[in-house]
Structure 1
Amino acid sequence: MDYNGGTENQNSGNRHKKWYQKTGWIILWLILFFPVGIFLMWRYANWKKPVKIVISAVFAFLIYSGFTASKLESINIQADTETVYNINEQIQIKQVVQPDNQTITATAYKTTGGKVKSSDNKMFFTNDEPGTYEVYAEASGIKSNILTFKIEDKTAILKEKAKKEAAAAKKKAKEEAAAKKAEEERLAAEAEAKKKAEEEAAAKKEEERIAAEAAAKKAEEERIAAEAAAQQAEQERIASEQAAAQAQQPQEQMVWISATGSKYHSYSSCGNMNPDNAYQMTQAEAEASGYGRCKKCY
């Protein structure tokens, strides 16, 4: 068999065919738009019939599979959205799709921050920044429900809490110290005021005592003076009465009597008499009282 001759005849035949009748273009149409490619293959390609049948069967199967395959109907994702999560913590997302033979990958997930990744056929959402984030899945024009996660930097929160507690404790200690100092100052002021009041009261009491003593002394002096005046008045009255009586009676001779002596004297300068406590009476009164004559004077 002359293969070279056959090839040459085939190439010569291809050169006389129109462009869409050529083998290369038929293969291209099978790839780009297979219905046209199938038609051109059966109409113009001089391939063996079994080859044409196999190619047609493959494309028929693909068409049948496309029409009979089930389509994605719904996507429902579930997770614990009540918990407040820490940054970088893995949050599992459970997905329920209908029909159940459909699957969606991590690339179908949309987020407002963070990322969704698959691990051991499970979906996990993580984020390294605190905040509130929404997550949903979308595939084949079907959109799932939206999950909202709250993320916190719990280490930073604990540090901030400890910082605030330390500041509050410091402020409280400062306020307590200020309150203690104020209380001590108040007590000291009260003690000082009490001491001053007691001193003033004691001084006033002392002044009143001194004034009372002065008043009592003055009253006593006035009483003594009054008594002396009364005694003087009485003596003057007696003297006046005696003078009046003497004026009515003959004048008797007066003598001097010493308070400690037993004699009467004719003059006060007698050396036998103490003139400091001497007084006068009549000679008759002296003799009647038991006094005798002073030998020096008489």
Structure 2
Amino acid sequence: MKWYQKTGWILAFLVLCFPLGCFLMWQYKKEWTMLIKAGASAAFGIFFLVLFLSAFSSDTSQAAALTDQLEAIQAEKQELETQVESLSADLSVLKDENQTNVAKIEELQDQLETAEQTIASMSDLDPAEDLQNQIDSLQQENTKLTEENEKLSSQIASASVSNSSKSSPDSSVSAGTDAPSQPADINSEIVLVTKTGSKYHNHKCGNGTYYEATLEDALARGLTPCKKCF
């Protein structure tokens, strides 16, 4: 009898490799009855099927677990990519703010240097001398304005005298000529105006401070003649 025809090896094959063990049992165990062979085939077949299904379910559960792990890893990868993009954006903003701060610091440094130079230049000057120079400059300007005011006053007075001489009716008689006198330009006539009044006058007929102006200027300002003195 060969070794694979022995009962022990056939039982081992039935457990380890059911198809081979079942074949050897039906082929070489002629002394076993049909009921024993059928029962052994059914029992070991069920045992082999249970082992196969348990192994298959284990593999399926492992595959599902691996799938879940893979999905979790992919989700973590996407989250990490999102965090990297957010950090990159924050880094860009920080770089821009850093450049802006550097520019502000440089500007403040320039202003500080300018202020230091100004303070240094001011410390070299004598405050009393500087104040005296300002007073002298203001006095010179005041003197110039006074001289200009006097010149304007003299020009206004001479214009008033010239205008009154031109508008006098006796001027044509004293000239000793029979030629008709030329009418004076009324727009250049000098009139008196108060600072707050709305009328012009030919003489001071009331209270207030008067100043001389041409009739053209008075009419341009919408002033009307005073009925008391005209």
TM more than 0.5: no
Structure with greater helix share of residues: 2
